[in-house]
Amino acid sequence: MVKHPKPLVEIVGTGRYVPDRVLTNADLEKMVETNDEWIVERTGIRERRIARDDEGAAQMGAEAARKAMEEAGVEPGEVDILIVSTATPDRWLPSTACDLQALLGAGNAMAFDICAACSGWLYGLTMAEGYLAAGRGEIALVVAAEKMSSITDWEDRATCVLFGDAAGAAVLKKATGDRGILSAHHKSDGNLADLLYRPGGGAAIPMSEEVLVDKGHLVKMSGREVFKNAVRSMADASGTALEKAGLTGDDIDLLIPHQANIRIIKATAKYAGIPMEKVYINVDRFGNTSSAAIPVALDEAKEAGIVGPGTVILTAAFGAGFTWSGMTIRL
């Protein structure tokens, strides 16, 4: 393995957006048969943010994207490729990326969505990396925007306590030195799709009164199976990303794992050989915001001065599909 691989692209700006409305565990106690102790012990979540009814993925993504572009010193018209990761597109057609493009005025970009659930933002970084490295453009904007509250069954206590809404974004340019993406490892396994999915409302089972009554358009999850696979896949994601970069846990300044569950985060850190002091955690405040979790955490960690130029981070994600990703980045 190459020690210190030369990066092709670097992150030159990040941004985040979380809605103002806070939904606490105490609020959920009034909605379903649950309690704060159970939720905190099993997940580490204390509260999550819920978007306004009139606030969609594109709007949330635009807020995060504007901040990322501002930090990068990039105008919307300079963006060549705009990728949106979302499991909650505002509409089936066109893509949320095209709606976001219009909101931003990023009229010179090619814009499209990717659907890779919680791993989607990391998948998007690699798509952008390839586009820029191929010389097809100079500036990429990769956004994750998730309104998980819109696909949550608010009567299902096994899932409704887990999710929250948020958006995160990054601007990428071709690397000029040793800063940038050092390694990436992406995988998926469609055989396990039905462990975490929305059965109805798509082309196979179009929306109907029956789908609505059965709540087939909302998230269904086999929690224990998802948990087991998440631990295994996050270990593969982080371990292989480290190996591909020729790094070990000792070389990592901060682990930014997908924020689904504190127990999954602890298992991932242990496997990667990274002490919990070097693990960024905000699952307690935001819950699982799917693919927005990592860019939101990265932007927070930068703002808090925990990471900065030259810092090496490891990220790892796991989500529906299943999909999983690991990445090392020198910021």
Catalytic residue among 25, 229, 261, 288: 288
Q: Which of 68, 100, 75, 258 is nearest to 171 (CA)?
A: 68
Among the options 185, 186, 217, 258, which is catalytic? 258
CA distance 178 to 297: 23
Binding site for ligand ACO (CB under 6 A): 34, 38-39, 42-43, 117-118, 157-158, 161, 196, 223-224, 226-227, 230, 260-261, 264, 288, 290, 318-320
Smallest distance, ligand ACO to C-beta of residue 1, A: 29
Residue type, 187: K
Q: How far is the CB of 11 from ligand ACO (least distance, A)?
A: 22
Say if CB 281 and CB 44 are below 8 A apart. yes
Q: Which is nearer to ligand ACO, 137 or 164 (CB)?
A: 164
User: Which single residue brings its beta carbon nearest to ligand ACO?
Assistant: 223
Least distance (Å) between residue 79 CB and ligand ACO: 27
| ω into 322 cis (within 30 of 0) | yes
**Catalytic residue status for 160:** no
Residue whose token pair is 């900065």: 308
Question: Closest approach of Cβ 117 to ligand ACO, in Å?
Answer: 5
**Catalytic residue among 118, 160, 217, 261, which?**
118
Q: Active site includes 258?
A: yes
115 belongs to the catalytic site:
no
Nearest alpha carbon to residue 144 among 174, 160, 122: 122
> Nearest to residue 258, comparing CAs of 154, 111, 130, 146?
146
Q: In whole angstroms, how large is the CA radius of gyration of the chain? A: 19
Catalytic positions are 118, 258, 288
